[in-house]
């Protein structure tokens, strides 16, 4: 599997304000999913679904620390191999492999420039 962008997450101080912003700007549809204030973002249509997005409450206030931007996740075949390559190339694993039931296995890491990136082996759905 090539490492194509498979998912992104937007962290927001005010989730409702952010949802209304992206509805107005891009016409995205939001579906409540999981805990309160957590949404799946539908960026496309049934025929052309686009990239899966997530909108969620920011966990750390914007103070210069913590995630402050968009959080991409790339679909990969083997998160363990990617984790080894991240470390070998000078990156830092920030979240070891975590399994999300019915979704897949995810790692998060910082690249050499301090950007937070995800790599996930998605479960095949048939």
Q: Could you give the domains of the chain?
A: 1-69 (3.10.180.10), 76-126 (3.10.180.10)
- Tell me phi and psi for residue 55, to 5 degrees: -125, 130
For 1, residues 6+ apart whose C-beta sits below 8 A from its C-beta are: 75, 76, 77
Q: Write down the pTM of the prediction.
A: 0.67
pLDDT score of 125 more than 60: no
For the ranges 5-9, 81-85, 114-118, the one whose mean pLDDT is highest: 81-85
Burial call 46-74: b when 16+ CB within 10 Å, e when fewer? eeeeeebbbbbebeeeeeeeebeeebbbb
Of 46 and 40, the one with more pLDDT: 40
The pLDDT confidence band at residue 71, using thresholds 50, 70 and 90, is: confident
HEC string of 50-114 equals CCEEEEEECCCCCCCCCCCCEEEEEECCCHHHHHHHHHHCCCEEEEEEEEECCCEEEEEEECCCC
Neighbours of 45 (CB within 10 A): 9
Residue 105 reports pLDDT greater than 70: yes
On whether the CB atoms of residues 15 and 56 are closer than 8 A, the answer is yes
pLDDT tens track for 73-97: 888 899 999 999 999 988 999 999 9
Query: Does residue 110 register a pLDDT over 80?
Result: yes
Least confident range of 11-15, 23-27, 65-69, 107-111: 65-69
- 81 is written with which tokens? 């191999």
């Amino acid at each position: 599997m090539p490492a194509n962008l498979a998912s992104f997450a937007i962290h927001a101080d005010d989730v409702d304000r952010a949802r209304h912003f992206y509805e107005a700007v891009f016409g995205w549809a939001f579906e409540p999913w999981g805990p309160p204030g957590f949404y799946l973002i539908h960026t496309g249509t049934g025929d052309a679904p686009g990239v899966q997005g997530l909108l969620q409450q920011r966990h750390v206030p914007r103070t210069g620390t913590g995630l402050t931007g968009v959080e991409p996740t790339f679909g990969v075949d083997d998160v363990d191999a990617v984790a080894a390559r991240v470390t070998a190339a000078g990156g830092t694993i920030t979240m070891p492999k975590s399994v999300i039931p019915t979704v897949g296995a995810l790692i998060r890491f910082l690249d050499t420039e301090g950007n937070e990136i995800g790599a996930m082996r998605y479960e095949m759905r048939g």
